[in-house]
């Protein structure tokens, strides 16, 4: 729990002993948006050791479902980077979901979208921030049935979103794995929406054909779409990355590790990231 200045003050109030201090790693302060120079000034007599490690942040994100207006839109203060902060990125990006009232039609949700999202995107533009919407439908169980908690999952919906909000700082955080089980051609998506792709998730998906046989597509993916590490599912990564390069994307492939075969222990999680790195590395130079 010892990650913030308020917590450290409380720790040192409870234990004021002179032999109790910090092993400071500035890299964590960067992504927590805590000023490391100010930390050094305030806690100089408590810094016993320093880690020389750097970190690069590709984007800030808030990917959750508890929202206002029946599941649509985020409160601006809760979106990381849209407050008055000093960005550590040259071209700041905030990733999130559009949200959705799962019990209403897409048309009804667009009425909410028109009301809620234009001021958010304008607010971000004024601060030089891009907003990248992930394309996950956010349906995993009966809790999200029937419509899922994020309506930004298809090409027709994206076109409508960008028609309503044509701002250049409004785009996509593209995850090809969702396109696979939704049967949407991810290479065609890259061609059509190249100028709207701000960030890309490196996550794969396995279609369990036995589960598909049992449940059918109307189940919303439940029972037959299985998250996998890159190259352990049905995405052709060479083909996909080739399309990204061809149509001008030359930024981050962010590994999104949700493969349960590589969870449960720290060693398995690390192994999953190393496998993902080794799969993608030949394409990234």
Confidence tier at 175 by pLDDT (50, 70, 90): very high
Q: Name 178's Cβ contacts closer than 8 Å, sequence gap at least 6.
A: 135, 136, 137, 153, 205
Other Cβ atoms within 10 Å of 216 Cβ, number = 10
Three-state SS string over the chain comes to CCCCHHHHHHHHHHCCCCCCCEEECHHHHHHCCCCHHHHHHHCHHHEEEECCCCCCCCCEEECCCCCCCCCECCCHHHCCCCCCCCCCCCCCEEEECCECCCCCCHHHHHHHHHHHHHHHHHHHHHCCCEEEEECCCCCCCHHHCCCCCCCCCCHHHHHHHHHHCCCCCEEEEECHHHHHHCCCCHHHHHHHHHHHEEEEEECEEEECHHHHHHHCHHHCCCCCEEEECCCCCCCCHHHHHHHHHHCCCCCCEEECCCCHHHCCCHHHHHHHHHHHHHHHHHHCC
pLDDT digits (tens, 9 = 90+) for 213-249: 999 988 888 899 999 999 999 999 999 999 999 999 9
Q: CATH: 3.30.870.10, 3.40.50.720, 3.40.50.1820, 3.20.20.150. Which one for 60-283?
A: 3.20.20.150
Closest CA to 146 of 211, 219, 215: 219
- Write down the pLDDT at residue 77: 42
Other Cβ atoms within 10 Å of 202 Cβ, number = 25
pLDDT digits (tens, 9 = 90+) for 127-172: 888 999 999 998 877 777 788 889 999 999 999 999 999 999 999 9
- Write down the pLDDT at residue 88: 47
Output the average pLDDT for the chain.
86
Across residues 183-207, what is the average pLDDT?
97
- Write down the pLDDT at residue 59: 55
pLDDT digits (tens, 9 = 90+) for 88-132: 456 788 888 898 888 899 999 999 899 989 998 998 899 888 999
The rounded distance, in Å, linking the Cα atoms of 80 and 140 is 25
The rounded distance, in Å, linking the Cα atoms of 80 and 130 is 12
Domain ranges across the chain? 5-50, 60-283
Q: Which residue has the higher pLDDT, 91 or 37?
A: 37
């Amino acid at each position: 729990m010892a990650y913030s200045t308020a917590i450290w003050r409380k720790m040192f109030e409870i234990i004021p002993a002179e032999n109790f201090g910090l092993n400071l790693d500035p890299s964590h302060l960067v992504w927590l948006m805590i000023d490391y120079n100010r930390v050094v000034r305030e806690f100089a007599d408590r810094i016993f050791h320093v880690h020389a490690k750097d970190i690069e942040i590709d984007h800030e994100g808030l990917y959750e479902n508890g929202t206002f207006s029946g599941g649509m839109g985020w409160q601006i203060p809760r979106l990381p980077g849209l407050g008055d902060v000093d960005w550590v990125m040259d071209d700041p990006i905030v990733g999130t979901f559009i949200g959705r009232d799962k019990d209403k039609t897409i048309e009804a949700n667009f009425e909410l979208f028109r009301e809620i999202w234009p001021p958010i995107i304008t607010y971000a533009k004024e601060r030089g921030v891009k907003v990248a919407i992930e394309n996950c439908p956010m349906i995993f169980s009966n809790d999200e049935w029937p419509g899922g908690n994020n309506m930004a999952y298809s090409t027709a919906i994206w076109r409508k979103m960008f028609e309503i909000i044509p701002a250049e700082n409004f785009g996509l955080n593209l995850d090809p794995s969702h396109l696979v089980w939704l049967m949407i051609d991810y290479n065609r998506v890259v061609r059509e929406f190249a100028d709207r792709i701000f960030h890309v998730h490196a996550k794969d998906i396995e279609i369990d054909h036995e589960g598909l046989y049992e449940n059918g597509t109307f189940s919303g993916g439940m029972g037959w779409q299985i998250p996998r590490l890159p190259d352990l599912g049905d995405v052709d990564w060479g083909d996909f990355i080739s399309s990204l390069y061809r149509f001008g994307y030359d930024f981050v492939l962010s590994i999104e590790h949700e493969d349960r075969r590589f969870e449960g222990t720290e060693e398995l999680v690390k192994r999953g990231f190393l496998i993902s790195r080794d799969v993608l590395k030949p394409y990234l130079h």
